[in-house]
Amino acid sequence: MQKIKGKLVLMDGSVYEGDLYGRRDAVGEVVFTTGMSGYQETLTDPSFCSQIVVMTYPLVGNYGVSPCFNQGERCFFQGYVVSELCDYPCNWRSEGSLPAFLEQQDVPVLAGVDTRAITRKLRNYGVLKGVITGLDTGEEKIKEMLGEPDVHDQVKQVTVREKYRMGEGKYRVAVMDYGIKRNILQYLVSFGCRLTVYPAYTSAAEVLADDPDGIFLSNGPGDPKDLPEVIENIRQMIGRKPIFGICLGHQLLALASGYDTYKMKFGHRGINHPVRDLLEHKICISSQNHGFAVDEKSLDDRVEISNVSLNDNTIEGLYYKTHPSFTVQYHPEACPGPGGHEYLFRRFVKMMGGDR
Amino acid sequence: MPRVQGVKKVLVIGSGPIIIGQAAEFDYSGTQACRSLKEEGLEVVLVNSNPATIMTDTHIADRVYVEPLNVEFLESVIRKEHPDAMLATLGGQVGLNLAMELDEKGILRNYGVRLLGTQIASIKRAEDRELFKEAMEKIRQPVPESTIVETVSAAKEFAHKVGYPLIVRPAYTLGGTGGGIAHDDGELDDIVNKGLTYSLIGQALIERSVAGWKEIEYEVLRDAEDNCITVCNMENVDPVGIHTGDSVVVAPCQTLSDREVQLLRQASIDIVRELKVCGACNVQLALDPDSEQYYVIEVNPRVSRSSALASKATGYPIAKVAAKIAAGYTLDEIKNAVTKKTTACFEPTLDYLVVKFPRWPFDKFVTADRTLGTQMKATGEVMAIERNFEAALLKAARCLEIGCRHLQLKHLAGLPLEELRRRVATQDDERLFAIAEFLRQGGTVDEVHRLTKINPWFLQKIVRIIEMERLLQTGPLTAELLRRAKKLGFADEVIAGYTGQTWQEIRQQRKAWGIIPTYKMVDTCAAEFEAATPYYYSSYAMEDEVEVTSRKKVCILGSGPIRIGQGVEFDYCTVHSVWALKELGYETIIINNNPETVSTDFDTSDKLYFEPLTVEDVLNVLDKEKPEGVIVQFGGQTAINLAGPLAKAGIQILGSSVDSIDRAEDRERFDEVLTQCEISRPRGHSVTCLEEALAAAHDVSYPVMVRPSYVLGGRAMEIVYNDEELRHYMEHAVQASSDHPVLVDHYLMGTEVEVDAICDGREVLMPGIMQHIERAGVHSGDSIAVYPPRSLSEHVIKTIIDYTVKMALNLEVKGMINVQYIVRDGNVYVIEVNPRSSRTVPFLSKVTTIPMVDVATKCAMGLSIREQGYKPGLQYFPDYYACKAPVFSFNKMSNVDITLGPEMKSTGEVMAVDYQFSRALYKACIASGINVPHEGAILITVADKDKPEATEIAAGFLELGYEVMATGGTAAYMREHGVEVETAVKISEGTPNLLDDIKEGKIAMVINTSNHGGTAERDGFRIRRSTVEHAIPCLTSLDTAKALQRVMAAMRHRRIVSVVALQDLSWDD
């Protein structure tokens, strides 16, 4: 992979120099994620669409890449910022190196950077827009790039083009794909679900016409408020079938129920987030990736907060009292990250009349 | 207040003396836990026999019993203190085993003591192999095929069923004592035999070997509500087959995919939940490098060496949280002490990695078997933190205190490739260095991987280091290249070696180019949250996040890894010095690299820099912090060695000056001091060849103490009695030359006396004088010391006071001074003076109740002794006695001669206090692990010169009702002198002989002094080793034998078990 001197320039003017790999510049919201393993799952998670992702763990690519780790069909990152990229991976599953994978995915990478310095910046100032470019790119050009309008159609970029089926189980689940991670599909199938996966903008009527036993609202990228049409579709599905939502799906159901969401300072991205389950009276460590959250103040008594973050008390899950629906903000399907959340899938199956 | 109901007083069992497999980590975790319990308003009663610990300070626990760690004494403490509850999981394996014994004997029930935290049932299910296997089968966690045997024949039967190689692990031992890998029947026979002896319950586990697999550890915490988190995972660079305590370990895991990480994490959590551990737990797993198959190897339901490492690696205080869990809290109710905002219920994430490197004692035990296996051999370890593996590894190498600055050992550099290949294939302490050398000389990663099974990822990193060496060699040294070298962790000195410059030149150039290290914080959360812990490491990155305050500050140098001669006592001193400086209003900065210690706990100093203790690494910190000065006198030889170079670089050394240190250390300059003070020392000369040596010996007269001024790795110090022995020494043990002379001093066979004193530059405070039981010639660290002295005349004591004061003032000591004297025929001679803190300071501080380090630190900072409220001069002797006894780890070290001599061999020490001397001595013996026999036969086999003395001892034992056996010559001599002993058959006289007697348990104790040379020496060695292998006491000094005889006599007519809390020691004046 060809390497030139490059830099990450943030909206506030701060500059971080490193080695730039890749053929294009990158512009996007800069976020950091703290997982120490699971880089490929993160890279292929469609929820990161159009973002520049900073890895806080300094050594990335140690165990190479393998198709079995992919969570989406490709990498939707704008850019990637790491301290050290490993070109000599070693693991029995490895089928290639991460640098080669990134080149093939056409993701610009800035390596050799003080990623902790960037993380501290984002922690203190909140997420910032940034540009990855060559070291000699001039101020004017950078200003121009930073001035580009923010992206709002990420879900369109990542959702499936046509509906498809998956699994042979007993429960027919309509999966709304806003950028779904593969492991969610696998989990649902393993819990006995027969899935029909719909493009994000499929109308409620079309979905309901297929008469599913339950509806699943997936994770996905971006601001949930960018999706009024999707929200309207969900509103029409509320109460018709049991609904289970994860991450963006959680936010969308809240919006469809008349509640509000807001943008967090720097979000939750990592695989070590403690979440208290107020219904089950237990604490689980979870995988998280979200920059928006449901606003507690906007809730009413039709809904109960079922999960909260132990770190900052933000809402991590909602249980709807007037219809059989529940959602979580975090990623019970893991990949990357810890398991131990299977009970949520079990609960969904139960809502659909199952006994598992 | 604690959440647990009805608990007011808690008994905590410490781990006792430092031995191989159980080092300072339990002082660190124990101290944290005691404080944590006290915070909850609980009264803490602590029992620990190790005085060189912070946890036995009277302010850490409410009641401190420095008493032997056995059931008898613990019951006594329980009877006296009536604790409501006990914590068993903080004192290592020793504490855990004792808790189980107390439970089995019904003592806990009888006195109504409940166990907090992890319960006995859980401990048993984790520790008992059969129960553990059942538990694992229940939750479908795979364990290697195994069986438990109590006989060798059962082991063989299993071997013939599953085949070799097999791992043998004795049940209930420390640090894998007696274990090993057997490749055939012969090895199996040997290892199982030994293992059964060491096992407390006479059991050993035999299991299929998964040697070569990845060895992964998880540190898990669970609370009573079943909340469970993993604090850290760790990957051994050395695959399964080498004890994790002897492995280079990296955290977090580097070569595992997220799937593998989660697989093993979930397994660890499932196991801890199934065992219902309530607190900390360590889980060791083996992962197939070629699939996702894994086995559970071992579970430790307690804090451990690994949990200490995980705590330091992540910043997460495992012991503190475990204690809170024991007090009834759930993880989410406990605050994260690092971020102060989040809770303890989360999993730390790192944005750096740490490398742990073991420190082995082979520099002291040169004859020891250096191969590594399932039996741990390291005495200590170092930890290095960096943002890339190469730099962390090189930092770790610099921390080791073995004279290397790089992944390179001089004596391996010239070896032919074939020899290096052999070294690579040998699992020993130098393997990683041999690998580097092999790769340097053209060996391939593939071949090393084939020979060692070390993951190529790690090997490739070593290749990167070597590539950088080549670039530096070729040059030119541009700013860009220098920056890359520094990023990879190369020391200035190493770079200088490749470019042909001096390290000072490199340093200057580096600073001119603006290439200076940045310091990053260890914060448990990869910078996601703001953290309050001032705990830093260096990295050549962009942003430095350490804020230098405007406060007046002092830097204290720590003592690095625990090793023979430099144990936990120096960490005790470091910590106390910090506390004293804080009292004076200074900001305190510690530089140290030992993850096992209290000094590297995040709340000990105001700032902690986890760095190697080399001139460059220390100067980098000082450049940044610009403290008023550096305190070196508490960090042992490590810190003292840095004093000169630091002073040269313009750093202020606080307390005694570099010149004072030099005048005490340099032989000729010290002679001047003695002349000025009119003090004598044993006569001696320095010689450069055999002829000169003989002349010198004749001049000063035999016996003489001989030692090289420059240690080449041979036997360093010896006492020789005649020309023949001297010739042997000069020809075999040392290479004398004009550059490296050998010192020949008259050996004075007298009473050894040791003094630790404090000088403020004008006056001298002498808290106490210690008298050694063993005569001069046994290293002071290996002697039993008694305070106050029992047999020194008033005149001698006056002379000692006079000499100590004179030397302290002459050397212009500001702070601590340690002096060793020999007293003979009423005359006092000086052997050695050290203007620094010594090994005995914690002991003396505890028994005199004078906080010596605190006073000395304040003297170093300019306060006088009187200003601090102390009266100079020798303090009154109390009406109680205290003994300090050495503890050895010979059972972990094969081929090491256990004879005591001028070279230190002990790894730790114990203390005992009592109002009766013999009781104090008895307790010290028991605490040090001497299995004092109540009856049976005592075998005496001694050198000719010792026969008269040994005869007296024999008579004494006969009088006490013991049988006495002696070998031919000795027996004849004794009978001639009217002492009727039985004759034992010498080894050379055929079988069965005395070795068989030892093996069959016919001998309860051995007293042996050795002859030099010939079969007598070899036989002596075999006898001594066989006592180690069969765990019977062997005394190699007649003084120890006499003392022990006194104890045994006292045992006959006095109640010997009596305990006293340090808080209750009274001064009757």
Cβ of A119 within 8 Å of Cβ of B528? The answer is: yes
Neighboring chain B residues of A272 at a CB cutoff of 8 Å: 346-349
**What is the per-residue pLDDT for B795?**
96
Q: Reduce the DSSP state of residue B834 to 3 states and report it.
A: strand
Q: What is the 8-class DSSP label of residue B678?
A: T
Place of tokens 């250096």: B370
In a domain, B123, yes or no: no
Residue range(s) defining the domain that contains residue A142: 3-151
How many whole angstroms separate alpha carbon B526 and alpha carbon A36? 10
Runs of H (alpha helix) within B346-474: 389-399, 410-413, 417-425, 431-440, 445-452, 456-474
Cβ of A58 within 8 Å of Cβ of B457? The answer is: no
Q: Which of B634, B664, B694 is the last residue of a domain?
A: B664
Give one DSSP letter per residue of B987-1019, joined into a string: GGG-SS-HHHHHHTT-EEEEEE---SSHHHHHH
Q: How far is B539 from chain A (nearest CA, A)?
A: 10
**What is the per-residue pLDDT for A161?**
96
Cβ of B526 within 8 Å of Cβ of A116? The answer is: yes
- Torsion of Cα atoms, B917 then B921 then B924 then B929, to 10°: -160
Cβ of A59 within 8 Å of Cβ of B388? The answer is: yes
Residue range(s) defining the domain that contains residue B967: 914-1053
Q: Which of A135, A151, A167 is the last residue of a domain?
A: A151
**What is the per-residue pLDDT for B4?**
84
Which residue type does A109 have? V
Residues A38 and A104 in one domain: yes
Domain of A105: which CATH number? 3.50.30.20
In a domain, A161, yes or no: yes
Residues B334 and B201 in one domain: yes
For B324, residues 6+ apart whose C-beta sits below 8 A from its C-beta are B36, B40, B334, B344
Residues B293 and B227 in one domain: yes
Domain of B71: which CATH number? 3.40.50.20
The pLDDT tens digits of the residues spanning B618-675 come to 999 999 999 999 999 999 989 999 999 999 999 999 999 999 999 998 888 999 999 9
Q: Which of B495, B515, B535 is the last residue of a domain?
A: B515
Indicate the pTM of the whole model: 0.95
In a domain, A44, yes or no: yes
Closest to B1039 (Cα-Cα) out of B1031, B1028, B1027, B1047: B1047
Residues A130 and A196 in one domain: no
Which residue type does B88 have? A
Residues B213 and B92 in one domain: no
Residues B211 and B346 in one domain: yes
Runs of H (alpha helix) within B731-867: 794-810, 841-848, 852-860
Which residue type does B831 have? I
Q: Which of A101, A135, A151 is the last residue of a domain?
A: A151
Residues A136 and A162 in one domain: no
Assembly ipTM: 0.97
In a domain, B969, yes or no: yes
Q: What is the 8-class DSSP label of residue B656?
A: S
Domain of B290: which CATH number? 3.30.470.20
Q: How far is A213 from chain B (nearest CA, A)?
A: 31
Nearest CB partner across the interface for B526, out of A56, A91, A114: A56
Q: Which of B674, B706, B735 is the last residue of a domain?
A: B735
Cβ of B266 within 8 Å of Cβ of A338? The answer is: yes
Residues B660 and B696 in one domain: no
Cβ of A311 within 8 Å of Cβ of B529? The answer is: yes
Active site residues of A: 247, 331, 333
For A100, residues 6+ apart whose C-beta sits below 8 A from its C-beta are A1, A65
Domain of B502: which CATH number? 1.10.1030.10
Domain of A205: which CATH number? 3.40.50.880
In a domain, B897, yes or no: no
**What is the per-residue pLDDT for B173?**
63
Residues A117 and A265 in one domain: no
**What is the per-residue pLDDT for A354?**
66
Cβ contact B304:B92 at 8 Å: yes
Q: How far is B333 from chain A (nearest CA, A)?
A: 10
- CA nearest to B350 within chain A: A57
Cβ of B541 within 8 Å of Cβ of A114? The answer is: yes
For A240, residues 6+ apart whose C-beta sits below 8 A from its C-beta are A208
Residues B590 and B633 in one domain: yes
Cβ contact B115:B122 at 8 Å: no
Residues A173 and A79 in one domain: no
Closest to B963 (Cα-Cα) out of B950, B948, B982: B982
In a domain, B926, yes or no: yes
**What is the per-residue pLDDT for B713?**
37
What does DSSP say about strands B704-708 and B742-746: parallel, antiparallel, or unpaired? Answer: antiparallel
Q: How far is A51 from chain B (nearest CA, A)?
A: 18
In a domain, A88, yes or no: yes
Neighboring chain B residues of A62 at a CB cutoff of 8 Å: 254-255, 457
Q: Which of A151, A169, A191 is the last residue of a domain?
A: A151
In a domain, A356, yes or no: no
Residues B648 and B724 in one domain: no
**What is the per-residue pLDDT for B1039?**
94
Q: How far is B263 from chain A (nearest CA, A)?
A: 9
Residues B419 and B491 in one domain: yes
In a domain, B707, yes or no: yes
**What is the per-residue pLDDT for B203?**
87
Residues B199 and B344 in one domain: yes
Q: What is the mean pLDDT of the segment spanning A23-49? A: 96
Instruction: Specify which residues B146 forms β-bridges with.
Output: B207
pLDDT along chain B (1069 residues), means of 10: 83 95 93 95 97 96 96 96 94 93 96 95 91 95 91 92 87 66 90 83 87 96 96 97 96 98 98 97 97 95 95 96 96 88 92 98 88 92 98 98 93 94 96 98 97 97 98 95 98 96 96 98 93 91 96 97 93 98 98 97 95 98 97 93 95 96 88 94 89 94 83 62 88 71 89 97 97 92 95 96 97 97 95 93 96 98 97 94 96 87 92 93 94 91 92 95 92 94 90 88 92 73 88 93 90 78 74
Neighboring chain B residues of A116 at a CB cutoff of 8 Å: 351, 387, 520, 526-527, 541, 543, 545
Nearest CB partner across the interface for B258, out of A37, A89, A281: A37
Place of tokens 């010792």: B946
Q: What is the number of CB-based contacts under 8 A between chain A and chain B?
A: 154
In a domain, B131, yes or no: no
**What is the per-residue pLDDT for B741?**
82
For B983, residues 6+ apart whose C-beta sits below 8 A from its C-beta are B965, B966, B967, B968, B971
Nearest CB partner across the interface for A90, out of B346, B350, B456: B456
For B1035, residues 6+ apart whose C-beta sits below 8 A from its C-beta are B1005, B1006, B1007, B1008, B1041, B1044
Residues A190 and A332 in one domain: yes
Neighboring chain A residues of B389 at a CB cutoff of 8 Å: 59
Cβ of A115 within 8 Å of Cβ of B457? The answer is: no
Cβ of B258 within 8 Å of Cβ of A38? The answer is: yes
Residues B335 and B363 in one domain: no
Phi, psi dihedrals of residue A199, rounded to the nearest 5°: -60, 150
How many whole angstroms separate alpha carbon B881 and alpha carbon B920? 6
End-to-end CA distance of chain B: 39
Residues A80 and A177 in one domain: no
Cβ of B526 within 8 Å of Cβ of A337? The answer is: no
Structural domain total, chain A: 2
Neighboring chain B residues of A63 at a CB cutoff of 8 Å: 255-257
pLDDT band at A302 (very low <50, low <70, confident <90, very high): very high
pLDDT band at A312 (very low <50, low <70, confident <90, very high): very high
Residues A171 and A320 in one domain: yes
**What is the per-residue pLDDT for A310?**
95
The pLDDT tens digits of the residues spanning B841-859 come to 999 999 999 999 999 999 9
Q: How far is A64 from chain B (nearest CA, A)?
A: 9
Residues A146 and A171 in one domain: no
Best probe of the B interface among A311, A313, A333, A341, by most B CBs < 10 A, is A311
Nearest CB partner across the interface for A285, out of B253, B347, B388: B347
Residues B336 and B212 in one domain: yes
* Exposed e or buried b per residue across A103-142, where buried means at least 16 C-beta atoms within 10 angstroms of its C-beta: bebebbbbbbbbbbbbbbbbbeeebbbbbbbeeebeeeeb
Residues A195 and A142 in one domain: no
Domain of B715: which CATH number? 3.30.1490.20
In a domain, A32, yes or no: yes
**What is the per-residue pLDDT for A356?**
42
Residues A143 and A162 in one domain: no
- CA nearest to A274 within chain B: B346
Residues A278 and A166 in one domain: yes
Q: What is the 8-class DSSP label of residue B931?
A: -
Residues B838 and B826 in one domain: yes
Cβ of B226 within 8 Å of Cβ of A282? The answer is: yes
